[in-house]
Structure 1
Amino acid sequence: MPSYTEEDMLIAINLVQNGLSQVKAAEEATVPRSSLRDRLKGIEPRKKAHADQQRLGPTVEADIISFLRLQDTLCTPLTHFQIRQLVIRILRSQGDHKPLGKHWVTRFITRSERIKSLKAIRVEFKRIEGSKSIIIRSWFDQLKDPEVTVIRGCNRWNMDETGIFQGVGINGLVIGQSEKRKTLKRSPHRRSWVTITEAICADGTSLIPFVIFKGDQPQQQWFPRDPSFLGNWRFTTSPKGWTTNEIAALWLKEIFIPYLKMTYRRELEMEAPLVEQGNTAKAAFLRCYFKARAAAFTEEKIRAGWLASGLWPINVMRPLSSKYVIPDEIEAEAAESGNPSTPPANTRAQFRYLNTPHSQSDVIQLAKAELGKDALTPTKRHLFRTIGKGLDDRAVELALTRDENRILSEKNDQSEVSKRKKLSKDPNQK
């Protein structure tokens, strides 16, 4: 791949048009002089010149990239497999049934500068729906009520509950035999679910935690021999270690629990070799959580959390500036189209003379056969490409409509409630 971009080449061309020599323009824009000379002579870039020989032309790939970026913004990014299936469906709708290359998706991502493979973090859809700009603005408008504005920072609290697998550490990097690609790591004890409720104040203070173990009632052997460091922590139990309506009430989501989990897991890694399976596991858990809580719930971090969330001092622009918030214009674009529109696709279907053209590539091949390759001037070539793009648009629209109808049909089948049928009586039974 060239070490320069199309933008660099356009800058060099603009410099030459403004009176700079080709040599100096090429040096300043860091592009090859030979490539600049060819472009000034009207020679098209290699990708554009051979667009009709590709499965997807540069213009079509750019549209797909825009579509993928939109899907990422809407928190519905596509996997490699989904991209591959999307391209295959589009090609088939245009009559191209040839297999798609094994590494096509990987190379497509590699040659693009606007997309790359990312590690996806799964988030509950309700969190995504709640991160829209209009919802955040509406919620912050309620904080402007006179009854709310008079509340001082020392009286503003944020509460949440989190669940932690007792004995689960970090799946991080370890040192082992060089012949292996991965290795197993023994967990020090059985996995048991523990729920903890916490509350922090805008003035930087925090309340005592409320720990919920799995069991019938707290057992003395669960706690360390000297539990004095736990102070006045509260403990209770539930059949599965979960919160209940009586225990939980309403908890506001905040940013400290993820940091707290990570700190706890790091502390657990330090104690793992020393802990054996049994009742000592809960005592080790309490020691680890105590250290993690002390590291996470400092006055500085608590104040920083309230500041970053925009809850104190109240500042709606804080959450709206987050990269995870769906902008209004993106939401409006998705609402207008119903479903995000998939970009047009191009195909390199084998041309057969007198066959009806189905794609841009077919139109170009037909023009070459009728007029001759030398007779295709840049103007005529542009005209035929424009006509072919219209065919691509219609073919892709048809393919997406069929795919959307299939999905809606499956959802409709799943949502239908089957009617109860009266069982026929067996004449051999009374």
Structure 2
Amino acid sequence: MPPIRSQSSRNSIEQEGRVLLAIQAIKKQEISSIRDAARQFQVPRTTLQRRLTGLTVRSETRANSHKLTKTEEQSLVQWIFSLDDRGAAPRPTSVQEIANLLLAARGSTPVQTVGEKWAYNFIKRHPELSTQFSRRYNYERAKCEDPIIIHEWFDCVQRTILQYGIDPDDIYNFDETGFAMGLTATAKVVTRSEYYGQRSLLQPGNREWVTSIECTNASGWALPPCIIFKGKVFIEAWFDDLPGDWRFEVSPNGWTSDEITSVAFKSSLFRRQLLV
């Protein structure tokens, strides 16, 4: 059996409805006087006057530290979820700005604002939210990781394999990656206790580009990598304890080329066939 509201509760709900109608009539300039609006809608004049200044209804009033109502906070949570789903999670400062906009929309004078730490307290009150360090994510790469597009691509590959009877030993995944030499990575260092925050590390001047070519087979084995340095001549004595099957090449800019890729792939594949 559904709960039965008391008479006082029903009266409070009915009065709140009349107050909202009176506020709407005043804002639309249908009634110019607060006293006349209170008389026509049968609500206390002081209640109507306080509500026009931005005071919230008692049923929605929260602790002093909660300046937004439950409905406003839930709307803010949904706004955060919406941005997060689109890969644009907001910063705490943005959450604070939206909270101030919600307070300003009440039309109260003076306009209320949240405190500097309000966003962090707001996150603590909502276990579904948390703060994390973000990382840059290229939009074009994000599109390539769309599950629908990925499934369509693999379906096409599977149809091609079945149509032409391709053996797994004849399927290769070939890719290249590059990195700059001499870039200092983030690491824990020992320094003076008087320093505050992260300690800066000087970057060496060497910024030469190195390219690595990798190739794997659908059967589960991989060809040795091909490392391409910038230069004219490669001397193996520069490095110690390198695997004997790795291939090293040089190019004017440290990038790969059609010729280097073709020679490296054919040489590694031929060596693989000899071992088999």
Q: Alpha carbon RMSD of aligned pairs, Å?
A: 3.2
Greater relative contact order (Cα 8 A, min sep 6): structure 1 or 2? 1
Tell me how many residue pairs correspond in the alignment. Answer: 200
Equivalent positions of 1:196-215 (< 5 A) are: 196-215=212-231
1:166 to 2:171 alignment? no
- For the residue of structure 1 that corresponds to 2:227, the secondary structure is strand
Which of 217, 233, 241 is the equivalent residue of 1:218? 233
* Displacement of 1:172: 2.0
* Displacement of 1:136: 1.9
What is the TM-score with the length of structure 2 in the denominator? 0.60
CA distance in 2: counterparts of 1:180 and 1:174, whole angstroms: 12
1:180 to 2:195 alignment? yes
Please say if residues 172 and 215 of structure 2, whose CA atoms lie closer than 8 Å, have aligned partners that are also in contact: yes
Equivalent positions of 1:346-385 (< 5 A) are: none
2:181 maps to a residue whose letter is: Q
Who is 1:113 aligned against?
127
1:184 maps to a residue whose letter is: S
Who is 2:271 aligned against?
none
Please say if residues 76 and 99 of structure 2, whose CA atoms lie closer than 8 Å, have aligned partners that are also in contact: no
With over 3 angstroms needed to count, the CA separation of the structure-2 counterparts of 1:64 and 1:218, relative to structure 1, is farther
CA distance in 1: counterparts of 2:183 and 2:162, whole angstroms: 41
* Displacement of 1:224: 1.6
CA distance in 1: counterparts of 2:259 and 2:113, whole angstroms: 59
Please say if residues 198 and 210 of structure 1, whose CA atoms lie closer than 8 Å, have aligned partners that are also in contact: yes
Equivalent positions of 1:52-91 (< 5 A) are: 54-91=66-103
Equivalent positions of 1:29-428 (< 5 A) are: 50-51=61-62, 54-95=66-107, 97-148=111-162, 150-181=165-196, 182-187=198-203, 190-215=206-231, 217-220=232-235, 224=238, 229-239=243-253, 241-243=254-256
2:166 maps to a residue whose letter is: I
* Displacement of 1:212: 2.7
Please say if residues 48 and 58 of structure 1, whose CA atoms lie closer than 8 Å, have aligned partners that are also in contact: no
- For the residue of structure 2 that corresponds to 1:144, the secondary structure is helix
Q: Deviations 1:330-378 (Å, cap 9, x if unpaired)? A: xxxxxxxxxxxxxxxxxxxxxxxxxxxxxxxxxxxxxxxxxxxxxxxxx
Unaligned runs of 5+ in 2: 1-57, 263-276
CA distance in 2: counterparts of 1:178 and 1:145, whole angstroms: 63
2:94 maps to a residue whose letter is: Q
2:177 maps to a residue whose letter is: T
Unaligned runs of 5+ in 1: 1-46, 250-430
CA distance in 1: counterparts of 2:81 and 2:229, whole angstroms: 43
CA distance in 2: counterparts of 1:128 and 1:137, whole angstroms: 15
* Displacement of 1:66: 2.6
2:82 maps to a residue whose letter is: L
CA distance in 2: counterparts of 1:210 and 1:194, whole angstroms: 11
Please say if residues 208 and 234 of structure 1, whose CA atoms lie closer than 8 Å, have aligned partners that are also in contact: no
- For the residue of structure 1 that corresponds to 2:141, the secondary structure is helix
CA distance in 1: counterparts of 2:256 and 2:97, whole angstroms: 42
CA distance in 2: counterparts of 1:248 and 1:79, whole angstroms: 44
Please say if residues 48 and 57 of structure 1, whose CA atoms lie closer than 8 Å, have aligned partners that are also in contact: no
* Displacement of 1:48: 6.5
Q: Deviations 1:275-331 (Å, cap 9, x if unpaired)? A: xxxxxxxxxxxxxxxxxxxxxxxxxxxxxxxxxxxxxxxxxxxxxxxxxxxxxxxxx
* Displacement of 1:77: 1.0
- For the residue of structure 1 that corresponds to 2:224, the secondary structure is coil
- Percent identity over the alignment? 25
CA distance in 2: counterparts of 1:243 and 1:145, whole angstroms: 32
* Displacement of 1:89: 3.4
- For the residue of structure 1 that corresponds to 2:149, the secondary structure is helix
* Displacement of 1:95: 3.0
With over 3 angstroms needed to count, the CA separation of the structure-2 counterparts of 1:108 and 1:146, relative to structure 1, is same
1:55 maps to a residue whose letter is: K
- For the residue of structure 1 that corresponds to 2:93, the secondary structure is helix
With over 3 angstroms needed to count, the CA separation of the structure-2 counterparts of 1:245 and 1:52, relative to structure 1, is farther
CA distance in 2: counterparts of 1:48 and 1:116, whole angstroms: 28
Please say if residues 226 and 246 of structure 2, whose CA atoms lie closer than 8 Å, have aligned partners that are also in contact: no
- For the residue of structure 2 that corresponds to 1:140, the secondary structure is helix
- For the residue of structure 1 that corresponds to 2:112, the secondary structure is coil
* Displacement of 1:235: 0.8
* Displacement of 1:118: 1.0
1:50 maps to a residue whose letter is: T
Please say if residues 72 and 102 of structure 2, whose CA atoms lie closer than 8 Å, have aligned partners that are also in contact: no
2:186 maps to a residue whose letter is: N
